[in-house]
Amino acid sequence: MASLSIFNSESDEDCWVIQINDMVSESHFSLLKRIPVCIFHVPKSLICGKPEAFAPQFVAIGPYTHFRPELYPMERFKIFAAKAVLDHFQKHELKQVVQEFHDTATFIRASYHKYLDLKDETLLYTVAIDALFLLNFFHNYLNEKLSGSFMRGLGDQIQLRGLTLTKDAIVRDILMVENQIPIYSLLKILRFESSEPPHSVQEYLGSMLLSFCQQHSPLKITNSPTCSEAVSKHYHLLDLMYHLVVSNAVKSETPIPDPSEEGMCKLSRNIEKL
């Protein structure tokens, strides 16, 4: 049934008022203007060719899909995976991570195209769990010699009995348009958890993401950016993959000025400050 309003109850409306006030507050407004909407709902016209290619089948990442009933059975495994990462660093509890994220809710919201009918706290928990799960998933792609001691010894990834063949399903799902979370949320968690200097953390994350993309890209990737660029210049995993695949085309054909890139870098810097 299609609802006529984004609200389901009166409390939603209160939430909405708070969100709008947050958005127009001086400290946020100038930043928000620079955050591009980067995570979309796929319009029906694009889906119709093959609907199952756009709807996650196995694992939900991000607020669009996190609470879909058909995907919720994976929640338990995602939490195990997230907990494994937290246990590995032995620094913080999930609650503290979410606390650390607290001020970024408005910015995370801004990346999503559709109105998110979630309270700030719920949204942050969602993003935190998914980000930790992704970190757990990606660390297997980490280049051995680059990784050093970083995250090594983190238990073999999500041990689902009888579900070991589902790695491909996860790969497919985390590259879907609707199934994205901003890369900076991964970066922020890693920086918060790891005791390494911020720059090398960014390198680690970048090399993880790049080798993931290299392994799964449908086209052979001929030239790739540096690891830290991969993190700072791209909004989410699919965005990174896209720019790796089309690589030179944008430069050689029509140079599209991308003011949002700056905004993104600034954003991650500002988020650090917060």
Interface residue list for another protein (CB under 8 A): 38, 40, 42-43, 45-46, 48-50, 53-54, 168, 171-172, 175-177, 216-223, 238-239, 241-242, 245-254, 256
Dihedral sign for Cα 88, 89, 93, 95, please: negative
The secondary structure element, H or E, covering residue 14 is helix 10-24
d(CA 75, CA 81): 10
Between residues 37 and 274, which has the closer beta carbon with respect to another protein?
37
Q: Which is nearer to another protein, 28 or 172 (CB)?
A: 172
Q: Which is nearer to another protein, 84 or 158 (CB)?
A: 158
Distance CA 71, CA 113 (A): 21
Query: What's the Cα-to-Cα distance from 37 to each of 7, 17, 48, 110, rounded to whole Å?
Result: 21, 21, 23, 6
For the bound state, the minimum distance from the C-beta of residue 223 to another protein, rounded and expressed in Å, comes to 7
Q: Toward another protein, which CB reaches closer, 54 or 192?
A: 54
Q: At its nearest, how many Å lie between another protein and the CB of residue 14?
A: 31
Query: How far apart, in whole angstroms, are the C-alpha atoms of residue 133 and residue 242?
Result: 22
Show Cβ contacts of residue 141 under 8 Å, excluding neighbours closer than 6 positions.
208, 211, 212, 215
Smallest separation, CB 54 to another protein (Å): 7
Provide, rounded to whole angstroms, the least separation between the CB of residue 262 and another protein: 17
Question: What are φ and ψ of residue 112, in 5° steps?
Answer: -95, 140
**What residues contact residue 47 under an 8 Å CB cut-off, 6+ apart?**
54
Please report, as a single letter, which amino acid is at residue 62: G
| Three-class SS state of 112 | strand
Q: CB of 148: closest distance to another protein in angstroms?
A: 28
Least distance from another protein to the Cβ atom of residue 128, Å: 24
Between 18 and 246, name the residue whose CB sits nearer to another protein: 246
Residue 15 or 177 having the CB closest to another protein: 177
CB of 259 to another protein, least distance (A): 14
Q: With respect to another protein, which residue has the nearer C-beta, 146 or 245?
A: 245
Q: How far is CA 95 from CA 121, 128, 129, 142, 208, in A?
A: 10, 10, 11, 27, 26
